[in-house]
Structure 1
């Protein structure tokens, strides 16, 4: 608790604006620039704590709505293809970088070598994190590893540096961070293991980004991805959380009020006593907050519990909800409401609530007891880095290089399958029989390893759902056309009464014309063609007015630079086709 209060006080003391180019004109952290600062270890800790504001807050669990991985009642601009060039803002903000660089130019004044190494590593981690975000969003960006003097015209009017230079500098920063950071496991602060986890993420991203665009020289990045992951796997002591209960372990990892440090490398902490909360329960159970839910094509991606493919079943397209959710990968029933679902702390079974889930597939990941259902009341910690991602990064990097073995799978991805009692992923079997359903989503996956690459993408999407990876994966795989596929929900043959949770009681009455009178208690009445729409496949259509969606392969993987920035710096060039 004392540590939490210290961080909160530090954040308040070191708060700065995050406006665009105004960072160039401001004195960095003016309250701490005197000779009395950077004198002792606590000064470094106080300053470094301000960097943690860079991490996402509550958006970590709903950021996946950008690529319709989490479907809401309103489609994102990215999905609709309606993004425009902003005048200001748009993610082109640099105040955090100035603060980091100022710290790095002054932190060695503290006469405690161990503290200088560790907190210098923290700053290098956050500079890498900052630039990785900019790289993903804009591509080429100016690299600054120093504080810009307001009179330094050359720096103020600097052009964008090549993408490769930026990536290599990010990885260099991470290598230096890894060398300096403490090795103890800390769930809420940066350590060597956090930096290694970020390095696997950055290197895998760039290696696959290059490979799927035919850019030569991608192999060293993929090699860094799996070698960094291997160090973390062998030396850190992290493991896949499991109590031996495959029906609840995945759910409990994300519903634990305090982050489970066996697997979660770094988490965003929330605390009722400090009034630091978020709104995940409210987000998933209310009808007034976007009605987030899972798309049908992701539901279809979950394998059967015996490892066979659901989409190979001849009648999978017309199965009712109660049937289609039976005998599936147990992560499905721990991610959405399925028959028999009960809230934590209750034994009352609940059917999906279509008023809170626009596709009908209602989310339960991160959802805790009912007393946390009001807005901004949830206190479950949210993961920023976890061991599962590292295992997936390791296997994918090796598969993309063509050097993945069954032994590699067994010590990585199959540990995740073991948690939920799923059959192991078989390298030879996957490559001998590539999944046609997944191949339609990822048409540019080819070659001898096509089958296993598709299976790894399935595994990644399922395991990391609601952890804000989907958009980045779509971009690096150059898979934007997957975003134009139909977005559908539950299957209903038409008007009628339906028992969604297979308990013998009617849950939903889909009606046409006048609302039935009298109504039955406990039944949810929905008017077809008004409150809910079915498409030509008799599936819930969450967006009937957005039938045509496009994705421009030559434009939409990057975001535009705001027009004001182009006017302030004539050496900046706009991203292609914007």
Structure 2
């Protein structure tokens, strides 16, 4: 029976990842046993293919929705403080770990030494990936590096290991993977560079998580992040994708059908050939599916294109859209619809569609040609690990350690700014004049590098928008109160006719009471107090029913362990605040 369980894993991997003739010419599945499998390189590859199912399928932006970085018609449970202790499920699933550990107990039967090195590295990468996900969600978790026999009560009732111990083991697995994985660039497969990039992420996460909670020993994790990042910066084929087109390169990196391998270290592949697609076009363009929008607080965070701060000007929250988005960091116009926006493959300039966004700031990241606008028809490859993140990880780790220099900034963040033609970040200027707007968002940032750390956080939020980082960043920075800030959108002085694309023609009519007659095709007619709500400052309020949200600092950074798991294992303890 035990053998048949792993035959099922084998079959799922075969169906999902192995479509070429190379994998169809195999012995019948009924003949696959523990004794006959794991003998050849192709066996190891086929088995480890199943691990790729761990990667997110489409919602790479899930972490942004959870944190209110993307505001939709339905706020997340995290935003509403509506999470409950589940009876079962809730992310406490260990099936993949058993598959990984089973592989690691049997792969050495293979007689191909190179294959053993590489695919054991793949397995160790995925064990690190698996445990990193559990660490972020639950904190302390039991560490298992072996398969558990159903009669092994001691293992089944193992208590939780400390997060420091688990992180040490994650780093250990990644170091093994780095030393053994193939040294090559493959956008859809695990390589040495994937392991280095994940180590960069893990070290930064745990190092800052512990630093902002005053836990001793956090420095070693920040050092691990900086070291892994520097190897990728100095000794890898990756760079920032740039053709010199500062007004389009950032956008084009994400709306390309195929992953841009100069920057994308690891991506999730989507293709209509085998009906593997996602819904980002539909998600961002339709009026019937969430209506995602960027919050005004994030729009305010984008610098002017000369590097000055938008929020240094008076009454910055009462500036109409056309002036608000003019002369800003070009990444803003490459992330939301602004004047001059055209769809990929199209020539017609189009204004924001207020019916498709809760805030007025309509998202364009990942959006491609209109022919992919039907639900689950999008085929853009989605990023999992990219070089741009590595540069940000390096700068932040060094800044939090207090060892950063201007040269470090020039070698990291400056590369990201060069792509969009933005001036450099000056360490001396940032620290001598910390941005009060940013400081209000992150009151726990202090010390000699306060101003610089705030600027690095700004850069990270802008560069990595819609890439599933925001929730994790808020958790590790212990900045949960950030998600209780008012959710707001565009400024409108009141009822009237508005030009949103600067062509001199009306795009939107806001009205109260009776709907205007003699309507013109192509103009959006929106009723105040029904279709859209304005607050006392004439800012769009996308969620008027949720303006009194809370965040429990003692509870809400971690998720609860399901009730049934606590019953099955009396040595497990519930996370604080969820008892």
TM-score range, shorter chain: over 0.9
Deviations 1:81-100 (A, max 9, x none): 11110111100000000000
2:105 is paired with a residue of what secondary structure? helix
Matches within 5 A, 1:267-282: 267-282=267-282
| Farther off after superposition, 515-524 or 137-146 | 515-524
Counterpart-to-counterpart distance in 1, 2:380 and 2:72? 22
TM-score calculated relative to the size of structure 2: 0.95
User: Where do residues 134-149 of structure 1 align in structure 2 (5 Å cutoff)?
Assistant: 134-149=134-149
Q: CA deviation at 1:14?
A: 7.5
Q: Name the SS of the counterpart of 1:510 in structure 2.
A: strand
Matches within 5 A, 1:419-498: 419-498=419-498
Contact 2:306 2:423 in 1 (8 A): yes
1:355 maps to 2:355: yes
Local SS of the residue matching 2:88: coil
Q: CA RMSD in A?
A: 1.3
- Distance in structure 1 (CA, Å) of the matches to 2:32 and 2:548: 54
Query: Is the CA contact 1:291–1:356 (under 8 Å) kept in the aligned structure 2?
Result: yes
- SS of 2:274's partner is coil
Contact kept, 8 Å, 1:10 with 1:49, in 2: the verdict is no
Whole-Å separation in 1 of the counterparts to 2:487 and 2:431 = 28
Q: CA–CA distance in 1 between the matches of 2:145 and 2:32?
A: 20
Task: Note the alpha carbon deviations across 1:420-444, whole angstroms, 9 max, x for none.
Answer: 0000011000001100001011000
Per the alignment, residue 95 of structure 1 pairs with 95
Structure 1 contact 396–456 (Cα < 8 Å) conserved = yes
Deviations 1:446-505 (A, max 9, x none): 111000000000000000000000000000000001111111000001111101111111
Q: Deviations over 1:498-520 (max 9, x none)?
A: 01111111011110010001112
Quote the residue 1:559 is aligned against: 559
Task: Confirm or deny: 8 A CA contact 1:184 1:191 kept in the other structure.
Answer: yes
Instruction: Supply the distance in 2 between the matched residues of 1:99 and 1:49 (Cα, whole angstroms).
Output: 11
Contact 1:303–1:329 (8 Å) recurs in 2:
yes
| 1:46 and 2:41 are equivalent in the alignment | no
Question: Within 2, Cα distance between the matches of 1:173 and 1:30?
Answer: 33
- Offset of 1:63 from its aligned partner? 3.6
How many residue pairs align between the two structures? 558
Deviates more, 1:123-132 or 1:264-273: 264-273
Output the CA distance in 2 between the equivalents of 1:9 and 1:308. Answer: 56
* Distance in 2 separating the partners of 1:572 and 1:62: 28
Shift of 1:279: 0.7
Deviation at 1:272, TM superposition (A): 1.5
Question: 2:512 and 2:48 mapped to 1: Cα distance?
Answer: 60
Change (3 A) 1:287 1:394: same
2:571 alignment partner, SS class: coil
Contact 2:89-2:562 at 8 Å conserved across structures: yes
Question: Which residue of 2 is the match for residue 5 of structure 1?
Answer: none
Q: Deviation at 1:367?
A: 0.2
Distance 1:489 1:543 in 2: 10
Query: Secondary structure of 2:448's match?
Result: coil
Q: Give the superposition deviation at 1:164.
A: 1.1
User: Aligned partners of 2:199, 2:378: CA distance in 1, in Å?
Assistant: 31
Q: Equivalent residue of 1:443, what SS?
A: coil
Secondary structure in 1 matching 2:196: helix
**Distance verdict in 2 for CA 1:236–1:31, change over 3 Å:** farther
Instruction: Show the counterpart of 1:176.
Output: 176
**What are the ranges of 5 or more consecutive residues in structure 2 without an aligned counterpart?**
1-8, 17-28
Structure 1 length as normaliser, TM-score?
0.95
Counterpart in the other structure of 1:18: none
Residues 39 and 484 (structure 1), Cα distance of their counterparts in 2 relative to 1, 3 Å cut: same
User: Are 2:157 and 1:157 equivalent residues in the alignment?
Assistant: yes
Structure 2 residue 512 is matched with structure 1 residue 512: yes
Structure 1 residue ranges without an equivalent (≥5): 1-7, 16-28
Q: Which residue of 1 is the match for residue 291 of structure 2?
A: 291
Q: Describe the superposition over 1:252-294 as per-residue Cα deviations: whole angstroms up to 9, x where unpaired.
A: 0001101000000001001111111111100000011110110
Q: Distance in 2 between matches of 1:302 and 1:212?
A: 25
Structure 1: distance between partners of 2:31 and 2:360: 52
**Partner in structure 1 of residue 306 of structure 2:** 306
1:324-374 CA distance string (max 9 Å, x none) = 000000000000000111111111111111111000000000000010000
When residues 92 and 410 of structure 1 are mapped into structure 2, their CA distance, relative to the original with a 3 A threshold, is same
Cα distance in 1 between the residues matched to 2:434 and 2:366: 33
Partner of 2:400: 400
Cα separation, 2, equivalents of 1:345 and 1:394:
36
Distance in 2, matches of 1:249 and 1:400, equals 30
In 2, Cα distance between the equivalents of 1:318 and 1:339?
19
What secondary structure is seen at the aligned counterpart in 1 of 2:305?
coil
**What is aligned with 1:233?**
233
The Cα shift of 1:9 comes to 9.3
Mark the CA change 1:396 to 1:10 in structure 2 (over 3 Å): closer, same or farther.
farther
Corresponding position: 1:333 with 2:369:
no
CA contact (8 A) 1:14 1:50 kept: no
Three-state SS of the structure 2 residue aligned to 1:145 is: coil
- Distance in 2 (CA, whole Å) between partners of 1:101 and 1:201 is 23
In 2 relative to 1, CA 361–116 (structure 1 residues): closer, same or farther, beyond 3 Å? same
Secondary structure of 2:131's counterpart equals helix
Name the CA distance, whole Å, in 2 between partners of 1:13 and 1:249.
37
Within 5 A, what are the aligned runs for 1:370-409? 370-409=370-409
Alpha-carbon separation, structure 2, partners of 1:222 and 1:367: 35
- Kindly report structure 1 stretches of 4+ aligned residues shifted beyond 6 Å: none
Partner of residue 21, structure 2:
none
